[in-house]
Chain A
Amino acid sequence: MVQKCYFTFPTTHQAIRAEKVLLKTKKEFKVVPVPREISSSCGVALCCTPGEAEGIKACLESEAVIVEGFYTLEEKVSAGLLSFLRGREKRGE
């Protein structure tokens, strides 16, 4: 099962600060809506692969970004759907 990691924040302000900090690095992440099974004070989260999570955590800590929670969840979107959607994206559709 593919896993994804999520950082949540107390306010959208902190989430955007986190994005700004991370954009200066080469780390791979996405700003996404918070999955419903996670309880979070604000509606957006940062999502990354488990491999990137430690580095991102350290980076956010060093810049004193206030993180509310950290979660590892299983990818809910089926592999079939994801490969279809990524295929669309690759074809420039």
Chain B
Amino acid sequence: MVKKTVYFDNAATSWPKPEGVYKAAEIYLRGSGASPGRSSYTQAIQVERQVFETRERAAAFLGAARPEEIIFTLNATDALNMALKGILEPGDHVVYTSLEHNSVNRPLHSLCHHRQVTATMVDSDPTGFLNVQEIANAVNPQTKLIVCTHASNVLGRVTPVKEISRLAREKGVYFLIDAAQTAGSVEIDLQDIKPHLAAFTGHKGLLGPPGVGMLYVRPGVRLRPWREGGTGSRSEEDRQPEMMPDYLEAGTMNAPGLAGLNAGLKFIQETGIPAMARHEQGLVQKLVAGLREIKQVQVFRPPGNYPSTAVVSFILKGLDCGEMGHLLEHYYGIMCRTGLHCAPNAHRTIGTFPQGTVRFSLSYFNREEEIDYALQAIREIARGLQ
């Protein structure tokens, strides 16, 4: 078995990217290079058109009614901070789940300690299943917001966001989705799910470069901007302009990142999420079946058919998962993530806290041979442990 280079860390950052993503960023940097929205010479307008096109494409892709509902951010963490800190006031209560990433846990912790917000965490079951009734039970008269990930980054299981959204509307509270793990891998139709807010990142399933993300803000939802400054509009006024998207987009944008994101979105639109998901889920099934044949391996993926992302968490009994990650990388060239994956409560729920798991996260660009190779590597390591 010749040592290969295998990238299984797509839930952190997808790689490789479609060819068009590399080209789009290069074309911007070499060819136009100007600030969008600030000047009116031809080259600057060209960049503005490209930002507009990206916004339009993202809105259509995600099912937003209008492009202005999509705000460009640095990543999902940035979008989640904008949403949580822009909407929660002293005295407000928020409901969140044990599947959340630290990009939700930590802003909430800070809001609870410094802005007199209170929070209730609803546990999933060990398979990552969320009971919507338990979320309903956690809502009280002070509740302003429910925030929930669209899929656990440890278990991959997709959460029932449509039902949670319906519950939020019934209870008269806002609903924020963290779609960092799902956008690009699972179909998302914002008109159908009807959240008030949704956070996305460009560098995972959307196949763009790191440093670009998005926040969907439904019309009528008013956030306090936590970043104010130059927008290129209403420059005579000290006050932040209230028109979207300028209201929440102060400062020069990551235009090469957005050019790359546009190309990533285009690739997904042309290939189609169903075809991409079919390929990814085929690989996941092969991987899970192979892992289950190795007796020292425990896979954290419950049997049964439910929508999920291409994330597989497992442990090899008798070997620290950090050590396992190191052996896989050093001797086999397999790159993956080990530990808690910034989601400590999910690991408490499945009983792998604090040691964590080994996580393989796959993409459309992974191949069946890579799964065979990885399974062979794990079999060899497992045999050596005996």
Query: 0/1 per residue, A23-35, Cβ < 8 Å to B?
Result: 0000000001111
Q: How many A-B residue pairs have CB under 8 A?
A: 49
Given A85-B331, A93-B2; A77-B321 close (CB under 8 Å) = no
A54 interfacial by beta-carbon distance below 8 Å: no
A78 interfacial by beta-carbon distance below 8 Å: yes
Within 8 A of B (CB), among A70-93: 76-78, 80-81, 84-85, 88-89, 92-93
Of B73-81, B150-158, B175-183, B322-330, the one contacting chain A is: B322-330
A36 pairs with B327, CB closer than 8 A: no
A43 pairs with B384, CB closer than 8 A: no
With a cutoff of 8 Å between Cβ atoms, the chain A residues found around residue B355 in the complex are 36
Given A78-B384, A85-B384; A33-B3 close (CB under 8 Å) = no
B356 pairs with A85, CB closer than 8 A: no
Minimum Cβ distance to chain A for residue B337 (Å):
9
Closest to A33 in B: B322
B338 pairs with A33, CB closer than 8 A: yes
Residue of B1, B3, B321, B323 most packed against chain A (CB within 10 A): B323
Bound CA span A63–B380, Å: 41
Number of residues of chain A lying within 8 A (CB) of chain B: 18
Minimum Cβ distance to chain B for residue A84 (Å):
5
Which of A36, A43, A81, A88 has a CB less than 8 Å from the CB of B320? A36
Closest to A31 in B: B326
A36 pairs with B331, CB closer than 8 A: no
With a cutoff of 8 Å between Cβ atoms, the chain A residues found around residue B381 in the complex are 81, 85
Bound CA span A84–B356, Å: 26
Query: 0/1 per residue, B353-386, Cβ < 8 Å to A?
Result: 0111000000000000000000000001100110
Bound CA span A32–B321, Å: 12
Minimum Cβ distance to chain A for residue B384 (Å):
3
Minimum Cβ distance to chain B for residue A79 (Å):
10
A84 pairs with B2, CB closer than 8 A: no
B339 interfacial by beta-carbon distance below 8 Å: yes
A76 pairs with B319, CB closer than 8 A: yes
B321 pairs with A36, CB closer than 8 A: yes
Minimum Cβ distance to chain B for residue A51 (Å):
21
Bound CA span A79–B331, Å: 15
Which of A37, A78, A80, A89 has a CB less than 8 Å from the CB of B331? A89
With a cutoff of 8 Å between Cβ atoms, the chain A residues found around residue B338 in the complex are 33
Given A77-B319, A93-B1; A33-B325 close (CB under 8 Å) = yes
B384 pairs with A36, CB closer than 8 A: no
With a cutoff of 8 Å between Cβ atoms, the chain A residues found around residue B321 in the complex are 36
Minimum Cβ distance to chain A for residue B211 (Å):
17
With a cutoff of 8 Å between Cβ atoms, the chain B residues found around residue A43 in the complex are 339
A84 pairs with B384, CB closer than 8 A: yes
Bound CA span A12–B295, Å: 35
Closest to B381 in A: A81
B384 pairs with A35, CB closer than 8 A: no
Minimum Cβ distance to chain A for residue B374 (Å):
15
B384 pairs with A81, CB closer than 8 A: yes
Given A36-B355, A88-B331, A93-B2; A80-B322 close (CB under 8 Å) = no
Bound CA span A37–B319, Å: 12
Minimum Cβ distance to chain B for residue A45 (Å):
9
Bound CA span A88–B333, Å: 12
Which of B1, B322, B331 has a CB less than 8 Å from the CB of A35? B322
Minimum Cβ distance to chain A for residue B380 (Å):
7
Residue of B322, B323, B326, B385 most packed against chain A (CB within 10 A): B322
Minimum Cβ distance to chain A for residue B336 (Å):
10
Closest to B325 in A: A33
Bound CA span A36–B327, Å: 15
7 contacts between A and B (CB under 8 A): A35-B323, A36-B322, A36-B354, A36-B356, A81-B385, A88-B331, A93-B1
Question: Which 6 pairs between the two chains have the least Cβ-Cβ distance?
Answer: A81-B384, A33-B322, A36-B355, A85-B331, A84-B384, A35-B322
